[in-house]
Amino acid sequence: MEKFMHISQTKSAMLLCIIIISMIGAVFAGMSLTNRNVAVIQPGENAGDKVTIYGNGVTFVRLEMTTTLDQGTDTVQLYLPPGALTDTLTVSGINVVKITTTEESHPLIAKGDVITVYTQDATYTGKFIGWDNMLLLEANNGTIMIPGERITRIILSEVVQVEGPRILAKITTNSPPGQYQLEISYLMRGPKWRPTYFIDLETSHVDCWATIENVEPWRNFTLVLVSGGPHIVVTGPIYFANAETAIYSASSLSIDFTPTTTDEYHEYTYNSRLWFENGTVVRLPLFNGTVTLRQEYFWKSGEVQNRYHITNALIDPLAAGKIEFYRGNAWMGEDAIAYTPANAETTAIVNYAQDIKVNVTVTKSINEARRQVQGTQITIQNHKTTPIEILIQQEINGYTLVTSTPSATRVGSTLSWTTSIDAKGTATIYYEWEHNW
């Protein structure tokens, strides 16, 4: 009896194993049958063939990849990075019937974006905060509330990079079986690039490096950095489900790229193919050359500035960025500059002249019923052991200039004097304005 029971238990165990193996086989067979109509492109295969990063934080990615459609395959799956603007996804090389993306798709407008909002009555520029029955915009150290029904257009000036899971895109096709070369392109939020200039005040030599933050795992790709940004517009009624999500129809999205000519955009294309690691910060040399520098002391209020006029003598424009000033190996200071075309001039502050002091005294003040007069004396003391030349500016708010010693140059409401001062010397300026009602 015990032997019979042992044999029965053994047979039962074997039968159970067979059943389990059969069930596992059936599951895998079912999965295989279920996925027969799907061609999957793994996330690691999404190498950017050409990546164009614009100065406003928008990136255009173009991919080329090969996929095989088996008999019955009608869907191609691929993954897009977080922040991809799925409305801009294009796929060519196969007949596309439908494109479906997962719910991780990010809105065109996200918190922190710098936007310009056009309404029926006015125009507002600031950082997008969110939506709470009205569009909330941070501007001029306050919050502007704009009713959604009055919004006619929104322009994105600068976007913030977003984090989150990768976006699954499913492309439904009716192309016959075979091997296809797909061309895929899309816009995405980030990464953003910025230039840093290193200028030697002794030699006027400039080195420019590009810093790119939070890059994607692009492999063997061509990088293009653009000094400007594409013009991105949202038109038509805009509705927000909550502070984090924007809902809009595909027909309300308009992306208008200014022609990529040197008149509008300037592109920096790297000649060699690059490899980026996910989430890292990459610094690349962009260009070098020589600019023209002119030193100048300047005062309008506060401390005296030691600044330099920088004439861009290069064939390339200087994109908006930060300048690090050196004198030989010694660091002198830093400032930021706006976009400066070739042969144009910009001004940057290196540091402040502590040995030059400016004092302002109101020496005459008349306030009558219909007349106001004010006389001001400016005293400049040069404590340096070398002579200097300084530019002084003052605003008179459109009032009438009565007198000035020495003579002032007036442009609009701005008065300017250029004064030479000996070593350890002093200079004075007196001007008087009048206002009549």
Do residue 153 and residue 168 come from a single domain?
Answer: no
What pLDDT, on the 0 to 100 scale, is given for residue 103? 62
For residue 24, tell me if it sits in a domain: no
For residue 9, tell me if it sits in a domain: no
Do residue 319 and residue 210 come from a single domain?
Answer: yes
As for how many domains the chain has, the answer is 4
Do residue 133 and residue 148 come from a single domain?
Answer: yes
Do residue 237 and residue 297 come from a single domain?
Answer: no
Q: Is the peptide bond before 176 cis (omega within 30 degrees of 0)?
A: no
Q: What is the pLDDT along the chain (437 residues), one digit of tens a residue?
A: 444 344 444 444 444 444 444 443 443 333 333 444 666 665 444 456 889 988 878 889 998 888 889 888 888 988 888 888 888 889 999 999 999 888 655 556 778 888 888 888 888 899 888 877 788 889 888 888 888 778 877 777 777 777 778 888 899 999 999 999 899 999 888 888 989 999 999 999 999 999 998 788 888 888 888 887 666 665 444 433 332 222 222 222 233 333 334 445 678 888 888 888 888 889 998 889 999 999 999 999 999 999 999 999 998 889 889 999 999 999 999 999 998 988 999 999 999 999 999 999 999 999 988 899 999 999 999 999 999 999 999 999 889 999 999 999 999 999 999 999 999 999 999 999 999 87
Do residue 89 and residue 168 come from a single domain?
Answer: yes
Do residue 153 and residue 208 come from a single domain?
Answer: no
For residue 427, tell me if it sits in a domain: yes
For residue 340, tell me if it sits in a domain: yes
**CA dihedral for 241, 243, 244, 247, sign (positive or negative):** positive
Do residue 425 and residue 285 come from a single domain?
Answer: no
What pLDDT, on the 0 to 100 scale, is given for residue 8? 47
Q: In what order do the strands lie in the sheet with 330-337?
A: 282-290, 205-212, 193-200, 321-327, 330-337
| CATH number for the domain harbouring residue 174 | 2.60.420
| CATH number for the domain harbouring residue 128 | 2.30.30
> Is there a contact between 154 and 233 (Cβ–Cβ < 8 Å)?
yes
For residue 412, tell me if it sits in a domain: yes
Gyration radius from the chain CA atoms: 33
Token pair recorded at residue 226:
């653009």
For residue 424, tell me if it sits in a domain: yes
Angle at 139 between CA 191 and CA 86, to 5 degrees: 35
Q: How many CB atoms lie within 10 A of CB 29?
A: 10
For residue 380, tell me if it sits in a domain: yes
pTM (global) more than 0.95:
no
What pLDDT, on the 0 to 100 scale, is given for residue 88? 85
Do residue 320 and residue 386 come from a single domain?
Answer: no
- Angstrom distances, CA of residue 170 to CA of 89, 163, 226, 420: 11, 21, 31, 72
Which residue, of 307, 324, 347, is where some domain finishes?
347
Do residue 275 and residue 383 come from a single domain?
Answer: no
> Is there a contact between 252 and 234 (Cβ–Cβ < 8 Å)?
yes
Do residue 211 and residue 285 come from a single domain?
Answer: yes
Which residue, of 136, 169, 188, is where some domain finishes?
188
Domain span at residue 73?
Answer: 37-51+61-103+161-188
| CATH number for the domain harbouring residue 387 | 2.60.40.290
What pLDDT, on the 0 to 100 scale, is given for residue 188? 86
What pLDDT, on the 0 to 100 scale, is given for residue 107? 57
Which residue, of 321, 347, 373, is where some domain finishes?
347
Q: What CA–CA distance (Å, rounded) separates 199 from 196?
A: 10
Do residue 312 and residue 334 come from a single domain?
Answer: yes
- HEC per residue, the chain: CHHHHHHHHHHHHHHHHHHHHHHHHHHHHHHHHHHHHEEECCHHHCCCCEEEECCCCEEEEEEEEEEEECCCCCEEEEEECCCEEEEEEEEECCCEEEEEECCCCCCCCCCCCEEEEEECCCEEEEEEEEECCEEEEEECCEEEEEEHHHEEEEEEEECCCCCCCCEEEEEEECCCCEEEEEEEEEEEECCCEEEEEEEECCCCEEEEEEEECCCCCCCCEEEEEECCCCEEEEECCCEECCCCCEECCHHHEEEECCCCCCCCCCEEECCCCECCCCCCCEEEEEEEEECEEEEEEEECCCCCEEEEEEECCCCCCECCEEEEEEECCEEEEEEEECCECCCCEEEEEEEECCCEEEEEEEEEEEECCCEEEEEEEEEEEECCCCCEEEEEEEECCCCEEEEEECCCEEECCEEEEEEEECCCCEEEEEEEEEEEC
For residue 29, tell me if it sits in a domain: no
Do residue 148 and residue 252 come from a single domain?
Answer: yes
